[in-house]
Each structure stands twice: as C-alpha cells, then as structure tokens.
Chains A and B, each alone.
Chain A
Amino acid sequence: MNTVSSPVPPAAAEPGHAPSYLQDGHGIKSWIMTLDHKRIGVLYLISILAAMFLGGLFAMLIRTELLTPAKTVMEAETYNRVFTLHGAIMIFLFIIPGIPAALGNFVLPLMLGARDVAFPRLNRLSWHLYVIGALFAVYSLIHGGADTGWTFYTPYSTTTTSAVVPITFGAFILGFSSILTGLNFIVTIHRFRPPGMGWFRMPLFLWALYATAIIQVLATPVLGITLLLLIVERVLGVGIFDPTLGGDPVLFQHFFWFYSHPAVYIMILPAMGVISELVSTFSRKHIFGYKAIAYSSVAIAFLSFLVWGHHMFVSGQSPMANMIFSALTFSVAIPSAVKVFNWVATMYKGSIKMDAPMTYTVAFILLFGIGGLTGLFLGALATDVHLHDTYFVVAHFHYTMMGGVLMAFMGGLHYWWPKIFGRMYNEKLANIASLMIVVGFNITFLSQFIMGSLGMPRRYYNYRPEFASYHQWSTAGAFLQAIGFILVAVYLIHSLRRGRLAPANPWGSATLEWRCASPPPTENFATQPTAGDPYDLKPLVFDPKLGGFTYRAESAEGVA
C-alpha cells in the first residue's frame, strides 16, 4: 500500500451558513418536483418505509394465520394473496430499492463531495416511476390481489383468475425505476469523483453501489421482457409459457431467475457496502483488506449472472446443467466469506462503540453468516433436492435478506439519520429496539430451518399438526419483532422534533458526507473538497463541545 499521507481535509463547514436542504422550499410541490438528490432520497425513504410497513402488516397476517394447523383467521384464497403481496411488496418495493435508492441517493453525491447526481431529472423520474409502479400494486390489491407468489410461476400465473396483470405491470414499471437509478449512479461515479479520489480511494459503499448499478442495468431488462411476455400471454392468449398453448412453463423460470438471482445481489451488495463503512467507523479502525472487499463486490456482481439455475435443481433441468450451476453457486460463496472475514478483522484492536449502527452491523455479520452458510446446504445438489421449496429455503432467504439487507439498512438508517434530518435519536431506545428485533428475528426463523429440514413445505395454508410448535414459536418471534419495529418508528419520529441537534460528524467517519453540515445545505459543498483515504480515522478526535468529531487541530489548518 502506498504510504502517502492523506491530503489535509478542510474544516467542517460551519453550521448555519446556508439554509439546509430541508428549509430550502416549502410545500408539497417543492418536494415532489424537486431535483435535489437529498430530497429525492428522503422521498424514497418515506415511500420505502411505507412499503416496509405494508409488507410487514402482511407478514403479521401470515404468521397469525399459521398459528394453528387449520384455518385461524382467513380462508386459503385470502392467505395465498397475503403471502404473494408480502413477498412482492418486500422484494420489489422495499429490499431492492431500499439501500441504493433511499440511502444511496442521499449519500452518493455527498460521498463524492459533489453537488448532485449526474442526471437530476432522471433521478426524479426514477422516483415518479417507483410511485406509479407502487400504485399498480395497490390497484391490484384493491381488485382482490394476485395469488401467484412473488415468483409468478407459469402456467399457474397465466391461468389463475386473480389480478395478476396489474401487479406484474407494476413490477415492470418498477424495473425501469431501478434501471434509471443504476444508470445515474454509474455515470455519477465515473464523472464526479473529487480530486484525490482514485478508484481505490473510493469509499466501499460507492464500490458496492457501482457493482449494484451494473447488475441493475444489465439484469433488470430481462425481468421487464419476461413480465411483458407474461402479460401478452394472459391478455392475448399467445402461447409462450403455457403448454396448452404450445409454450414452455420452465422457460419462464429460466427468464425469471436470470433476473431474480442477480437481484438478490442487487439487494445484498449495497448492504455489504454499508457494513464496510460502519464497521470501520465504529471500531475507529481502517477497514481491513480494502482491495479484497472492493474486488469481491465486482466478483460477486459478475458471478451472480451465472448461477440462476440453482433455483431450478428439481425443475427437470438436466443433471449436467445442475452440476454446472451447483459448482458456480459455490464460487459465489467465496467472495461473500472473504468479506465477512475482513469485517471481523477490522474490529481487531479497534476501539469499538456499540452505538445503534454498530449493533446492527454485528447483527448483520452474524445473521448474514448463517444465511450464507445455509446457502451451502442449498447449493449442494443432494441436500437441495430435499430442502428445495421447504421452510428451510424460506429461512435461508430471510436470514440473507432480513438478517442481512434489512439489518444493514437499519444500521445505515441510524448512521445517516443525523446527517439526513439533523437530529440525534434516543440511543438507549435504539439499542433496546435492535435487541428485540434481533432476538425476535432468530426465534422466527431458526424454527423455520428446523421444520423445513423436517419436511414442512413452503406456501402452505394448512399444515400437519407435528409442525405446530415450530410455527407457534415462529409467530411469537414475529410479534416480538413487530414491537421492536414500532419502537423504532416511535423514537425516530420523536427525534425529528425533539432530538438533540446533530453535529456535522457525530460518529467520527472520514468519508466526505460528514464534512458538510447536518443537515447539508442544498448545494452540499461550497467547493468540491479534496478526498483523502476514506478510512484514515486517526486525525479525527471527539470534541465534547460539539458532541461530535472534528479534525485534530495540528492536522487541519484553519481550525480554531
């Protein structure tokens, strides 16, 4: 590694200089027609949290119904719609756009020291498309909802009488939103890096967003076409997937997973990026193995295109194809493992503070660890045949998506909250809530691993009584989590008005977004700052007067 010391960072912008982006313009129109990436980020944040709330509500309905082996509160037809909407909302409206579109939009230009993204109008269009796509999902809901599962497998989805077309069309539109965000981020990262920020001086969150954006741009069009073909078959009766019309139902699965496997990396890569920032900051340590983490993001992005067939090991795919997909699947496990080792090594000899973002980071490392390790059972052919389409898979992807992506999202939300809204939240309540969420999460999904390997199939409305106790544990855990999330909502909303005013740099991070005021002024920086090593935290010291960190007097000229 080079030993050139980082350029001297300028003093933190004095607060109160320019009005913050939150004050710059009032009224609904100044928000929904804004071109400011920060406001668009906040709009995304609100939409995404609304989607998370709705998806969570459906999750609670699922768990309530499964409290008893037969009917508990709803009919089978209703249950099927509820789990479909839960999955579709959580995947397409929450987890995929969650970190990149909400947190990424806010943070990416700031991390570059830039004024905005490369194409602000395109950015606004992405959000508008997101809202339109979401409205289609709501429309489908009002018209009875779809009952296909979030995977829309044919020929069930082309023959069922439920409202499949609107929700599919909604997902189609959301795809465009995702592509445009990806495109915008790629160009912004290429064009707007500040002086001093070579590719290997980029914060790892930006590497992660960059790798994600590439997948978004390359894979999402395939989903778009697939969903369009589905609509064409349903509406016009053209035989593409339905065998009674001369189509091939398994073709749909190939198309679908060709997007949806890379999509799981659209979800996890930004999450890994967030974790890389958090683990370094809260350990007050330089990230360990920067290059390995950066390269592994790109490796994962590339390999993610080659493993879709592991969702189809029992679909009738040839044993030869199965063998290849199994081998390739294991190759994705390696870069994932490497990142986990790097994060743990970053904590070594650190000075670790368990603030809420770090609590979620630790939760991420351990829970994602379980998610990834259980992927080994599913990547191995002999064991996957048994575990496929059981609750084991359900637990696996909840450990990766909820234990992984959601925990990172929560960590990132708590980490950037002071920057976004200029207020600190109640740290004690935040830690209590995170504990409830993590404990509840494990109760909910560990029991699902066990019942899954014992043979409990997924998407079951009725189940055999021997699985009842596992389901009851699972439901109890879900309610504990729900209480935790309500608590989070309470103290975050409370902080907006009552929270202590946030300093520019409450945690002591060296990335550029902490060099402007909290919340930042509309133009972010008066002049684009010069970037140094984003993980060189030595010069930052805690100043009790500010309640936050500032650069050591001797290392920064101009600091009083």
Chain B
Amino acid sequence: MIHSLPAVLASLVPLRASNAFWLPEEGTAAAGQVDWLFNLILGISVFFFALIAVLTIYFLLRYRRRQGIEAGQPPTHHTWLEITWTVIPTIIVIVIFYFGFTGYMDMKIAPENALEIQVTGQKWQWLFSYPNGHVDPDLHVPVDQPVKLIMTSEDVIHGFFIPDFRQKMDVVPGRYSTVWFNVTRPGKHIIFCTQYCGRGHSDMSAWVVVHPPGEYEKWLTEAGDELSKLPPAAAGEKLYLTRGCKQCHTIDGGASTGPSFLGMFGRSEAMKDGSKLTVDENYIREAIIDPQAKVVAGYQPVMPTYKGKLKDNEITVIIEYLKTLKR
C-alpha cells in the first residue's frame, strides 16, 4: 500500500463528512483521497468566495451613492496590502498543486502484482478481454485486488471513466493507455465514455462488476465455457449482442449505421463499386475480417475490422445465427 501524505492527512482531518451531495460513492481508497482534496479546495473556494461576496455587498450598501456625499479619497494603492494578497494565494495554490500531484501519482502507478485486463473501445461499446481469452461487454474484477486496464481504441478517441473510482483515461487509437484501481467492496459501478465519439457516445456505457473473494475465478471459467455449451445459433446471437455488432446492425429490418441483418443471408446486394453479389458464408467472413474490401452501396466504410478479435469458430457461429434471421 502506498502511504502518501494526503492519505495520512485525510485520516486526520474530518473533511469527508458527507459527500453524497457533491460526489458519487467512493468505490476505492484512492477515491477517498481525491474527495479529500476536492473538499479541501471546496473549503478554500467557499472561504474566498464568501470573502469577496461579503465585502462587495457590504460596500454596495455602505457606500451607495447619496445626495451631497462625495466618495472618500483613500490611497489608490497600498504596497503591503497588495503584496499580502498576492503572497497568500500563491502559498495556497502551491499547497493545492502539491496534493493534486501526489494524489495523481498514487493513482497513476500500478502495483507490480496487478491483474491485467485488456480494454477495447469502439463505436459505441466497450469490450473487455480476460486472461483466458474470454471477451465480455462488462468489466468483471475481484475485490481487494489491484486491477490494471490496458486500453486501446479501434476507431476514434474514447474516454474511459468510472465516476465511483474517480478514474479517467482517454483511449486512443494506435496506442495503449492504462488505468488501475483496487476496489474495496463487492458491488456494481457504472463506466461512461467521456470523449465525444459520435451518435452513440452517450450510450457507450458498461458496468464494473466487483466479485466477492473467490467468485471472480468461478465467473471467469463459466463465462469462458459459455459459448461452447450453447447451440451454434444461440452462441452466435450472444456474440451479436455482446461484441458490438448490435450497435450498427438491426435484426428487425430497421435502418442504422450498417445494413440490417434481417433476411440478409442469401440476399443479392449492390456494392459501392457497382458490382453485385449474393450474401454467403465467404462474403460474411470477409465482411467481418476485412470490412472495407467490399462496402454495400449507400453505407459509409466505417466498420472496424474484427481480425484477431473474433476466432474462426466464433465467426462460424455468427454465420449460423445470421442464417436464422429470415424474413
């Protein structure tokens, strides 16, 4: 455990009475540190605001213009007063800077033994890949265990934000970024996308599910086998729902970013380049692995590639599922 000065001070100063009004639940110990600093700055701000407001209002009332009374002529500057009100704020901001920086470093440097989970952001879904190869639309973590997320994006910049953990990091295409945390209680916490990414930006959320001791491993094994236990079409449906296909393709014929899957298999489709083809297994496979190779007329080439993200047998069950979506 890192024992920084703010953490020690936080335990001494009762600044954390009730945060419910300003700040969400504290999911981690680090969140408590952030809140301590938040409340410290809040206290300083309220003090200075009250000082300015009270003086202003007092002057307005006390020195309001009256018939026959002229303004006084106090000095037009006062060196010591001016030095004082420059130096005091300077000291205060140095203190705030210090706690801001140390608190930040604690939240930045993950311990060696952290559990690593891969995160992918894409329009408009989060995908979490676990060490056993399982991919899930939610983030499952064990309680009391440092977890480090290694994040990248498939398309534009997304922002990974867990308000209850006071953690946030941009997820940038073409590079990796990380966050870490250690959750103190089993429970559920919301994940938001905070970097504007288009139509579905505000729906790009997911959950952190914090498992009680011992249950994370159980969940992981079960989740890893789940697909193999399902009939192919049902497994395909599950992948459709959890891997981001649903975000752009409807199954009821409705319009969206991509063509609807309803009645797609066996349909004759006109391509952007003017050619025509019939949707079969090979076309679907190519459309998943190399989406830009052939683009359906009337749509933009915006689909991300799933190469390396869906295994062959997963593509096979997805095709089985698509076959069932008959008109």
A338 touching B82 in the complex, CB below 8 Å, given contacts A376-B93, A457-B193: yes
Contact B37 A450 (CB under 8 A): no
Those of A462-500 within 8 Å (CB) of chain B: 462-464
In the bound complex, CA of A283 to CA of B71 (Å): 8
* Residue in A283, A316, A383, A450 whose beta carbon sits within 8 Å of that of B34 in the complex: A383
Across-interface contacts of B194 in A (CB, < 8 A): 388-390, 457-458
Q: Complex Cα distance A546/B77, Å?
A: 33
Known: A153-B196, A351-B66, A352-B63. A462 touches B161 (CB 8 A): no
* A73 at interface, CB cutoff 8 A: no
A244 to B49 alpha-carbon distance, docked (Å):
48
Which of A319, A352, A463: most chain B Cβ within 10 A? Answer: A352
Contact B161 A389 (CB under 8 A): yes
Residues B103-127 near A (CB distance < 8 A): 103-105, 107-108
Tell me if A284 and B70 are in contact (CB < 8 A): yes
Asked if B64 lies at the interface with its beta carbon under 8 angstroms from chain A, I say yes
Residues of chain B within 8 A (CB-CB) of A397 are none
User: Is B63 a contact of A350 with CB atoms below 8 Å?
Assistant: yes
Question: For residue A459, which residue of chain B has the nearest CB?
Answer: B196
Residues in B neighbouring A159, C-beta threshold 8 A: 155-156, 302
Judge whether A315 is part of the interface by a CB distance below 8 angstroms: yes
A337-375, CB < 8 A from B: 337-338, 340-342, 344-345, 347-354, 362, 365-366, 369-370, 373-374
The residue that A362 contacts in the complex, of B60, B96, B195, with Cβ under 8 A, is B60
Contacts of B96 in A (CB 8 A): 330, 376, 379-380
> CA A380 – CA B34 in complex, angstroms?
10
**Which of B55, B104, B169, B203 has the most A CB atoms < 10 Å from its CB?**
B104
In the complex, chain A residues whose CB is within 8 Å of the CB of B60? 347, 352, 354, 362
A450 touches B22 (CB 8 A): yes
Q: Which of A217-268 contact B (CB under 8 A)?
A: 243-244, 248-250
Q: Does A9 contact B (CB under 8 A)?
A: no
Residues in B whose Cβ lies below 8 Å from that of A381: 100-101, 103-104
Q: Using A155-B173, A249-B172, A380-B99 as known contacts, say yes or no to A349 and B74 having CB atoms under 8 A apart.
A: yes
Interface residues on B, range: 35 or more
The answer to whether B107 touches A382, judged by C-beta atoms less than 8 angstroms apart, is: yes
The answer to whether B56 touches A347 (Cβ under 8 A) is yes
A128 to B157, CA, bound (A): 37
Of B56, B107, B174, B192, which contacts A243 at CB under 8 A?
A: B174
Determine if B76 and A156 form an interchain contact, defined as CB atoms under 8 angstroms apart. no
A145 to chain B, nearest CB (A): 14
Q: Determine the distance from Cα of A314 to Cα of B105 in the docked complex, in whole angstroms.
A: 13
Give the complex CA separation of A366 and B22 in angstroms.
Answer: 21
Q: Assuming A340-B52, A383-B41, is B174 touching A147 (CB within 8 A)?
A: no
Do residues A288 and B202 form an inter-chain contact, with CB atoms below 8 A?
no
B70-83 Cβ-contact flags toward A at 8 Å (1 or 0): 11111011100110
Evaluate contact between B56 and A344: CB separation under 8 angstroms: yes
Quick check: B71 and A351 within 8 Å, CB to CB? yes
Check if B65 is an interface residue, CB within 8 A of chain A: yes
CB pair B193 A362 closer than 8 Å: no
Q: Considering the chains assembled together, what is the distance between the CA atoms of A381 and B102 in angstroms?
A: 9
Interface residue stretch chosen among B84-92, B272-280, B307-315: B84-92
Contact assessment for A327 and B199 in the assembled complex, using a CB-CB cutoff below 8 Å: no
Contacts of A341 in B (CB 8 A): 82, 85
Residue A556 CB within 8 A of the other chain: no
The interface residues of chain A lying within 8 Å CB-to-CB of B155 are: 155, 159
* Contact of B146 with A by CB under 8 A: no
Q: Is A53 an interface residue (CB 8 A)?
A: no
B residues within 8 A CB of A338? 82, 85-86, 89
Residues of A with C-beta under 8 A to B2: none
Known: A159-B302, A249-B157, A380-B99. A388 touches B168 (CB 8 A): yes
Q: How many angstroms between the C-alpha atoms of A348 and B169 in the bound complex?
A: 47
B247 contacts the other chain (CB 8 A): no
Q: Which B residues are in CB contact (< 8 Å) with A77?
A: 199
Q: Which of A155, A331, A384, A537 has the most CB of B within 10 A?
A: A155
Interface flags for A72-111 (1: CB within 8 Å of B; 0: not) read: 0000110010000000000000000000000000000000
Query: Besides the contacts A380-B41, A455-B190, what 7 more A-B pairs have beta carbons closer than 8 Å?
Result: A243-B173, A283-B63, A287-B76, A337-B85, A347-B59, A366-B52, A386-B167
3 tightest Cβ-Cβ pairs between the two chains A and B: A455-B163, A380-B100, A243-B174
Q: Which residues of A contact B (CB under 8 A)?
A: 1, 76-77, 80, 147-149, 153, 155-156, 159-161, 243-244, 248-250, 283-292, 314-316, 319, 322-323, 326-327, 330-331, 333-334, 337-338, 340-342, 344-345, 347-354, 362, 365-366, 369-370, 373-374, 376-377, 379-386, 388-390, 450, 453-455, 457-464, 535, 537-538
